[in-house]
Structure 1
């Protein structure tokens, strides 16, 4: 599997190395990002989507966590994905190249950080989605047990080994694009909005 090495740079000039295999690097980077110890993430060579679905979805996981933390990601694509990249227009896009695939061009041109996010309120989750329009669609998940399931799919999960409650939640929110699925691998797509303000039409 030819996947890029992650170099995570801290807020200080010191470079933080993550010396693991490819998938382990992504998993090791996430706690560093969540802990505020990373200022930028660089992928050392272009991504070739489609070689390993688990690694592909882990990359989306990494991009979502970077979006939540508000840090930049420097990366490029060599082989574009077959799936609809419009689902990812809220996530940091790859860099534009000399021969950029139209799907990637669309991602770059349509990127808006605040186009898909969630916030946790008293007794509910509020999900705002304006990836396809400046007018946001709003979805509310009540904290009636369903919220715990939503927290579980913040991490990459394998649906074949998940319980019935996870299956039920995914069946409800996958049709509206709240989760991303590659084969049996599933991840929640909206990033958590931790800081205000956001545009008035997104609230």
Structure 2
């Protein structure tokens, strides 16, 4: 099921009821999340609500990845997201902890097992530029704070079509060949698997952070 989205130009609940603040609705995540979210940011959107949980227990993964890419791009632009997440293994949440914190995390296929401690830890540890990258001539520099310590990684001149597609926000179908090409990035949690799909997890850093502005 493709989740519906509702958008506002303010994140304050009182302001959201004022005329002109409701931006509208979308039937589902845009097919080009990078350009679409850039346009939303330009239009002044500040808050997006996703009406169905992102389900990482779905063996297909297409719907989950579409929303995860959207949340990644919204986080990159500093746009707040009201979303929920269903995971087969909630302790693995740290690989996604650079994304705007979800309102709830459910274990497995039911909504009765709400992992409140995961949500609390996610919110408490979240900060701007927690895992992002910048592109230079022939390289990517990645700054990763998801695991409690700072990691800086440099990827030199990536050439594979699969890799460039991921950077452009296009997930790829997981296969033995793509996983060989992306093995290092899977190991370092820069690429994440959801069902049959792989997607690039770090977001583009819109502003390069000073060392005093982040933990």
Residue 192 of structure 2 corresponds to which residue in structure 1? Answer: 180
Residue 106 of structure 1 corresponds to which residue in structure 2? Answer: 121
Residue 83 of structure 2 corresponds to which residue in structure 1? Answer: 75
Distance in 1, matches of 2:150 and 2:55, equals: 32
Quote the RMSD (CA, aligned, Å): 3.1
Paired positions, count:
190
TM-score, with structure 2 as normaliser: 0.73
TM-score, with structure 1 as normaliser: 0.77
SS in 2 for 1:41: strand
How far residue 159 of structure 1 moved from its aligned partner, in angstroms, is 2.5
Cα deviation digits, residues 108-155 of structure 1 (max 9, x gap): 33222322111112321001111112x311111112525x65331132
How far residue 17 of structure 1 moved from its aligned partner, in angstroms, is 2.2
Runs of 4+ in 1 over 4 A off after TM superposition: 45-49, 96-99
Residue 26 of structure 1 corresponds to which residue in structure 2? Answer: 29
Higher relative helix content: 1
Q: Which of 57, 66, 88 is equivalent to 1:50?
A: 57
Q: Which of 71, 79, 95 is equivalent to 1:63?
A: 71
SS in 2 for 1:92: coil
Change (3 A) 1:198 1:67: farther
5 Å-filtered alignment, 1:79-158, equals 80-83=86-89, 84-95=92-103, 100-101=114-115, 102-133=117-148, 135-143=149-157, 145-146=159-160, 149-154=162-167, 155-158=170-173
SS in 2 for 1:59: helix
Change (3 A) 1:198 1:74: farther
How far residue 200 of structure 1 moved from its aligned partner, in angstroms, is 4.6
Which 5+ residue runs of structure 1 have no aligned equivalent?
Answer: none
Which 5+ residue runs of structure 2 have no aligned equivalent?
Answer: 11-19, 106-111
Change (3 A) 1:29 1:119: closer
